[in-house]
Amino acid sequence: MAPAVELSVLNSKVMARKVLIALALIVIVIQFVRPNRNDGEALGPNEVSKVYKVPAEVHATLQHSCYDCHSNKTNYPWYANIQPIGWWMQSHINDGKKHLNFSEYGTYPEKKAKHKFEEIEDAASNGWMPLGSYVWIHKDAQLTSEQAKAMADWAGSLK
């Protein structure tokens, strides 16, 4: 092999090694940049069951399938400690709480609360909640047809 070709191959290997080291350092450093956790109180004074009649089975379903993203308390899995997965999850949680927060339902004006009940009925009836990305990992959060009907009936009676 010609000396220029050997030098080019050596430079390519050195450059690839430098890139891998830089990527490894970035992955290590981002582990120290943690998002704020959603560690509040899920069942506080403004929680939906404190201001509206919620059947026990519907409340249990809400807590099991909805509250991780739609309340002030999230049960984080171990992999939420790995960045950037933790950032992605926290972004979903923040977005979910922005759209609907069962822990703060009592603070909603009546018009907004009724609209949210319409959305809950629609989500339960049409199966667009919980999100597929959540159910993919939390298979037991998928609503059964009975749970979906009970939730839709409950929300529909309050809209």
1-29 pLDDT tens trace: 566 556 576 678 888 888 999 999 998 99
Closest residue by Cα to residue 154 from 138, 143, 140, 139: 143
pLDDT for position 159: 79
Buried b (16+ CB within 10 A) or exposed e, 38-52: beeebbeebbbbeee
Q: What is the pLDDT of residues 34-49, one digit of tens each?
A: 999 999 999 999 999 9
C-alpha span between 49 and 29 (Å, rounded)? 42
User: What are the structural domain ranges in the chain?
Assistant: 1-30, 48-158
- 85-129 residue pLDDT tens: 999 999 999 999 999 999 999 999 999 999 999 999 999 999 999
At 12 the pLDDT is: 82
Predicted TM-score (pTM) of the model is 0.83
pLDDT in tens, 49-85: 999 999 999 999 999 999 999 999 999 999 999 999 9
Please compute the mean of the pLDDT values over residues 135-140 and round it to a whole number: 88
